[in-house]
Amino acid sequence: MGIAERKEREKTERRQAILAAAQRLFNEQGFDKVSMRNIAEAIEYSPATIYLYFKDKNELLFALQNQAFGQLRRAFESLESIEHPGERLQALCRQYVEFAIEHPELFELMFIMTGPMEAVEAQGERAPWASGRAAFDRVVQAIQHGMDTGVFRCPDAEVAALMAWSQVHGLAALYLRKRLVFFPEEERMAYMNKSLALFNHMLEYGL
């Protein structure tokens, strides 16, 4: 019965081809050029065909988001070797902001756009948004490790992780959404870095 398997394989291959094309459009043209018609044109199919492989655009964006989380995961993993919990947490924070600046479209997809999260809601799972949770857990673990070794003294690792996440996400989101325009462009990055440094300093003495 190799024929059913082949069909299955071909199906996921086409699905992957669609995602690859969408990914390429995302990176090269920016997220508002990613329309169903543009994706269809890129893979030389009709727009309607995409709906044979994805329920709607939100599901496609959700699939793209999952792929993107793979990239963030790899970036985070490279910091796992840092033994000191404080330094590891700070590195994670810096990495998050760096990721937002280096891959703005992916960051938008993962943490700002509403579309992919509507797909998550539509799934109605009991443990929703596993890829988001997995990334969050890296931070939780770093803090838990710090609590275990007595470096951090705070009541709850998840709460502390949420605080750290909010901090770096806020900085990245304000920057990407142009809310820091009143800082002169040549000083903007410096302000962001100093602000992040101040947070890290507070972590050191306050957490």
Partner DNA sequence: AGGAAATGTGAACAGTGTTCACTTACTTTA
Partner DNA sequence: TAAAGTAAGTGAACACTGTTCACATTTCCT
Task: Give the interface with a second copy as residue ranges (CB under 8 A).
Answer: 111-114, 117, 120-121, 127-129, 132-133, 136, 154, 156, 158-160, 162-163, 165-171, 173-174, 177-182, 191-192, 194-196, 198-199, 201-207
47: partner contacted, choices a second copy, DNA, none (Cβ within 5-8 A by kind) = DNA
CB-CB contact of 94 with 201 (8 Å): no
Smaller CB separation from a second copy, 20 or 115:
115
Q: Which amino acid is at 27?
A: N
CB-CB contact of 129 with 110 (8 Å): no
- If DSSP codes are grouped into helix, strand and coil, which group holds residue 52? coil
51: partner contacted, choices a second copy, DNA, none (Cβ within 5-8 A by kind) = DNA
Provide the minimum distance between the beta carbon of 41 and a second copy in the complex, in angstroms, as a whole number: 25
Cα torsion 29, 180, 196, 152: sign: negative
Provide the minimum distance between the beta carbon of 65 and a second copy in the complex, in angstroms, as a whole number: 11
205: partner contacted, choices DNA, a second copy, none (Cβ within 5-8 A by kind) = a second copy
Neighbour tally for 99: CB within 10 Å? 21
Smaller CB separation from a second copy, 6 or 194:
194
Provide the minimum distance between the beta carbon of 3 and a second copy in the complex, in angstroms, as a whole number: 40
**Pair of tokens at residue 72:** 């963030």
189: partner contacted, choices DNA, a second copy, none (Cβ within 5-8 A by kind) = none
Smaller CB separation from a second copy, 11 or 177:
177
Q: Which amino acid is at 133?
A: R
Rg (CA), the chain: 20
Smaller CB separation from a second copy, 12 or 206:
206
User: Which residues contact DNA by CB under 7 A?
Assistant: 3-4, 6-7, 10-11, 14, 33-38, 45-49, 51-52, 56-58
Smaller CB separation from a second copy, 74 or 178:
178
Query: Could you give the CA distance from residue 57 to residue 203 in angstroms, rounded to a whole number?
Result: 40
Phi, psi of 199 (to 5 degrees): -60, -45
CB-CB contact of 113 with 31 (8 Å): yes
Query: Could you give the CA distance from residue 115 to residue 168 in angstroms, rounded to a whole number?
Result: 22
10: partner contacted, choices a second copy, DNA, none (Cβ within 5-8 A by kind) = DNA
